[in-house]
Structure 1
Amino acid sequence: NVKKGQTLTIKNSNGLTVYNNEIKNSGDYSRTFDFSALENGIYSAELNKDFEIVIKQFYVENGLVTFLNNKDEKIFKPIIRTEGDLLLVSKINFNNEPLKVTLYYNDEVVLSETISGDKLLKRVYKLSEKEVGAYKVVVSSDERTYSKEFNI
């Protein structure tokens, strides 16, 4: 079950994308793939949803696919919001991965911290009302990076 705008990506064991497709319609998604041209090895299919990434690993040997486990891996994406001069960052953290937050103001780092320890990581940052302009927050966790640009 997918929504329009979500993406399906297939990556090899080195993290290189071998297939990427944006979902065009919401509803049930079904697609047949021909893996006969792929090298033998481990691959992952990643469905990038609004708040999570669902990952299913499989092994290709001579064009035949074997799924490595029956359970999908889920990575919860961080949520980054702004409300006036407040920056709110949160992430569900069931796998106990630290969350690195870096805040830039006019392309210069003004804050960098790593959050860890809880099942729900969350921070609220109050930005100076005097520092009006372009901001960018970069959040890293689970070997992935997310960013958001905003102005106050």
Structure 2
Amino acid sequence: MKNVLNNTKKGILMVAMLATVMGFANEIDGRDLRITALTINNVKEGNLLSIKDINGSTLYTEIIEQSGSYTKGFDLTELPDGSYFFELDKDITIKTIPFNVKSNIAVFDKDKETIIFKPFVQKHNDLVYITKLAPELEPLKINVYGLYSSGASELLFTETIKGKENIERVLKLERGNYKIVFNSNDKTYTKYINN
């Protein structure tokens, strides 16, 4: 008899818990169903994640706080109809993840994801080594400016390298301060060198 009462109490408790859970499930706001989870593997602390529109205007920016795997929910359906992309700016690459919003529905286009390789600069004594991977043979424009204590700058060297998949340059710089500006893939990158 004692076991029957215990089992009955457990059964009533289970039914009460199930009813409570079902009650919460019915109260889920419709907006929660529109959240898109973005997961990106192999991120590093300090990487920059942005959402941009097709014109390149930045709508959202976040600095990644932890290395490893990044996951976050975004309600992309609140954006006006149009084309957008996530941009993950890493040390030597920029990954773009395009998506479209139409009638409050966000759709990703995996086939149009791209990776752009940024120029890599390394200084050793008075030599500056510049490398860039250009799988689409995209050109790289290099401008080297001398920076002076008066605040003035002077263009000392300019070159556009075209038609190469592996771009490599070595520049010899005298003592001084320099700004190297790179243009490639419709983006500008700047590196300062103190020699």
| Deviation at residue 118 of structure 1 after TM alignment | 1.3
CA distance in 2, matches of 1:41, 1:134: 44
SS at match of 1:29: strand
Q: What is the distance in 1 between the residues matched to 2:194 and 2:69?
A: 38
Gaps of 5+ in 2: 1-40, 148-152
Q: Aligned ranges for residues 28-47 of structure 1 at < 5 Å?
A: 28-47=69-88
User: Amino acid of the residue matched to residue 94 of structure 1?
Assistant: P
Q: Return the letter of the residue paired with 1:151.
A: N
Structure 1 unmatched ranges of 5 or more: none
Whether 1:136 and 2:179 are equivalent positions in the alignment is yes
Which protein has the bigger strand share? Answer: 1
Q: Is the 8 A contact 2:98 2:112 kept in 1?
A: no
Q: CA deviation at 1:72?
A: 2.3
TM-score using structure 1 length: 0.93
Residue number in structure 2 paired with 1:7: 48
Larger Rg: 2
Higher RCO structure, 1 or 2 (CA under 8 Å, sep 6+): 1
- CA displacement at 1:88 relative to structure 2: 1.2
Aligned CA RMSD, in angstroms, stands at 1.2
Question: In the alignment, is residue 77 of structure 1 matched against residue 118 of structure 2?
Answer: yes
- 2:112 maps to 1:66: no
Residue 145 of structure 1 corresponds to 188
Letter in 2 for 1:140: N
Shift >4 Å, 4+ stretches: none
Letter in 2 for 1:41: G
For 1:115 and 1:78, locate their aligned partners in 2 and report how far apart those are by CA, in whole Å: 12
Amino acid at match of 1:55: T
* Displacement of 1:71: 5.3
Alignment size in residue pairs:
149
Number of the residue aligned with 2:97: 56
Equivalent position SS for 2:45: coil
TM-fit CA distance, 1:61? 1.3
Deviations 1:81-127 (A, max 9, x none): 21111111110010111000000112100000101121101100112
Q: Distance in 1 between matches of 2:185 and 2:62?
A: 22
AA in 1 matched with 2:168:
K
TM-score, scaled to structure 2: 0.73
- Letter of the aligned partner of 1:18 in structure 2? L
Q: Is the contact made by 2:77 and 2:106 (CA closer than 8 Å) also made in structure 1?
A: no
More helix as a share of residues: 2
The one-letter amino acid paired with 1:146 is: Y
SS in 1 for 2:68: coil
